[in-house]
Amino acid sequence: MSISYAMQTGVSGLRANSTAVGRISENIANANTDGYRRSFVQMVTTSTLSDNAGISPSGVRAFQSADVSTEGAVRATNSATDMAIGGQGFFVVSAQPNETNESNFFLTRAGSFLPDENGDLRNAAGYYLAGFPYDQTASIGNVDRNQFGDLKTVNLGSLSQTGSPTKEMTVSGNIPAQQTGLATPGEPFLSSAEYFSPLGEAERMQFSWQPTATASQWTLSIADADGTQYGDVTVDFHDSGPLAGAPRLYSNPVSNATAPAGFAFDPATGTATLTVDNGAVPQVIEVAIGEPDTHGGMTQFAGDYSPLKMASDGAESGVLVRTEIDERGDVYGVFNNGSRKPLYNIPLAQVANPDGLLAADGNAYALSRSSGKYSLNQAAEGSAGSLTAGALESSNVEIAQELTELISTQRAYSSNAKIVTTVDEMLDETMRLKR
């Protein structure tokens, strides 16, 4: 090997080890960067053409890579929109909200998301979180999980829930059998139920169960909150046999409502149909008391009166007061009317070779040929990791390891520098041969 080759080999060592020091310095600088993935270099031997002696001189070059697939530790935070991934997968983010160009989407493990001035969730690096939005029926529909086109920026700003009118109500409970059949019946048993108007306003409906002088017979009256009567119906209950306590017969329905309000009763199903005069188009509500010969609705057994249990559809209008994120990536909105509804689902992007992703600015990664194809999978299903809200994933850098490698790399750099100075002295001696 000639002296010049020795010089080139030493220079290649200096160059490779200086690159290694650069990666180590990046790791140390980002030891506290959330979601950061350690980068490193591997030394690869390089060979050139053989010299006259038939010996192939070798040098070295630094091959840069990153340890993307190794997880960092998870720590708790006080922010409900911070998220950490436990297992495989990446958040899908974009530099601009509601991005449409697939080449502008990136992957990251940095989950420090907070709403910006428009309510869009953005992390500390300025990337916007993408997810699949739920519709009014709490469905994300048929989405293509092999492309980014169906994703939208997760927005939590100024969300409100429009009110929906009540259409159906069910009533269940127990009335005391011993209160019927008395010569002088006692006072009625009263209860009320909440329902919602077409404008999302909460209203009350009153139910009165009046015992009669006939055993196991009651008169049910339904009225508005101010006492305005809709109508009443006579209800007879079974007093023996396997159907004891269940409604036996509905009879004598009477409407006391003033048009356009109305009252009707179907004895075959035990359902009252109320027409509520609360707008240009009256609201129609079906109230299920319980089918004859069944115990699914109202019952009559001896004992105490059981306050009626009411269930109704519809919702009061409300505004968002907080959000909740579960391990499957579903973002729920909790509204001041007490309702809770899904808003977005945050998918986790998975690739065949995470270590093949290309590092981008802001602790993010871009897809590459070596990373393989991606898919947007449901968190906590299959091989995809799960989400933990109120937590962040720390860097996977181990300071002790980096400092140890820094010492080793420094020694290697110094040794290669010694080769260069030694070759320089040899060349100087060669130049003096002529004198």
Higher pLDDT, 284 or 11: 284
Considering the domain architecture, whether residues 95 and 61 belong to the same structural domain is answered as no
Distance CA 63, CA 412 (A): 16
Q: What is the pTM assigned to this prediction? A: 0.69
Q: Looking at the structure, do residues 279 and 379 belong to the same domain, yes or no? A: no
Residue 414 has pLDDT above 60, yes or no: yes
| Same domain (yes/no): 172, 308 | yes
- How far is the CA of 408 from the CAs of 13, 40, 42, 58, in angstroms? 13, 14, 13, 21
Residues 218, 234, single domain; the answer is yes
Q: Would you state the pLDDT for residue 354?
A: 92
Backbone angles phi, psi at 134, to 5 degrees: -85, 145
Question: Quick one: how many helices (H) and strands (E) in the chain?
Answer: 2, 31
pLDDT attached to residue 88: 94
- Among residues 286, 252, 254, 283, the alpha carbon closest in space to that of 272 is found at 286
In a domain, 286, yes or no: yes
Nearest-angstrom CA–CA distance, 376 and 346: 9
Are 401 and 387 members of one domain?
A: no
Give residue 89's pLDDT band: very low, low, confident or very high (50, 70, 90): very high
In a domain, 381, yes or no: yes
Instruction: Supply the pLDDT for residue 53.
Output: 53
* pLDDT for 160: 73
Q: pLDDT at position 200, please?
A: 82
Do 113 and 90 lie in one domain? The reply is yes
CA atoms of 160 and 164, how far apart (whole Å): 13
> 399-432 and 3-29 helices cross at what angle (nearest 10)?
160
Average pLDDT on 417-426 reads 88
In a domain, 76, yes or no: no
Using the 8-state DSSP alphabet, how is residue 427 labeled? H
What token pair was written down for 424? 């320089």
Mean pLDDT of 62-77: 87
Instruction: Tell me the three state secondary structure of residue 344.
Output: strand
CA of 111: how far to CAs of 35, 53, 386, in Å? 7, 59, 13
Helix, strand or coil, per DSSP, at residue 367: coil
Q: How confident is the model at residue 50 (pLDDT cuts 50, 70, 90)?
A: low
Q: How much is the mean pLDDT over the chain? A: 90
Work out the burial of residue 17: count CB atoms within 10 Å of its CB; fewer than 13 is exposed, 13-18 middle, 19 or more buried. buried
In a domain, residue 75? The reply is no
Same structural domain, 308 and 175 = yes
Short-list 107, 35, 68, 112, CA closest to 389: 112
Distance (Å, rounded) from C-alpha 413 to C-alpha 121?
A: 45
Nearest partner of 385 among 108, 73, 89, judged by Cα? 89
Q: How confident is the model at residue 208 (pLDDT cuts 50, 70, 90)?
A: very high
Helix (H, G, I), strand (E, B) or coil at 152: strand
Q: Looking at residue 51, what is its pLDDT?
A: 52
The verdict on residue 126 lying in a domain is: yes
Reported as a pLDDT band with limits 50, 70 and 90, residue 243 is very high
One domain, residues 205 and 108: no
Cβ within 8 Å of residue 101, ≥6 positions away: none
- Indicate the residue among 288, 312, 336 that finishes a domain: 312
CA atoms of 109 and 112, how far apart (whole Å): 9
Q: What is the largest CA-CA distance in the chain?
A: 143
Give the C-alpha distances (Å, rounded to integers) separating 27 from 13, 22, 35, 110, 365. Answer: 21, 9, 12, 16, 16
If one counts the domains in the chain, the total is 3
CA distance 362 to 15: 27
Does residue 44 lie in a domain region? yes
Task: Tell whether 36 and 136 lie within a shared domain.
Answer: no
Write the CATH number for 308.
2.60.98.20
The predicted pLDDT at position 435 comes to: 64
- What phi and psi, each to the nearest 5 degrees, are found at residue 321? -115, -25
- Locate 139 and state its tokens: 């469905």
Is residue 195 helix, strand or coil? strand
Please tell me the least confidently modeled range out of 45-49, 116-120, 202-206, 301-305.
Answer: 45-49
Q: Quick check: is 407 in a domain?
A: yes
Could you tell me if 182 and 301 lie in one domain?
Answer: yes
Q: Which domain holds residue 127?
A: 81-158+319-352+363-393
216 shares its domain with 100:
no
Note whether 348 and 417 are same-domain residues.
no
**Is a pLDDT exceeding 80 seen at residue 85?**
yes
Domain contains 358:
no
Residue found under tokens 């209800």: 235
Task: Give residue-wise pLDDT tens across range 363-394.
Answer: 999 999 999 999 999 999 999 999 999 999 99
Instruction: Give the per-residue pLDDT at 389.
Output: 95
Radius of gyration of the chain (CA): 37
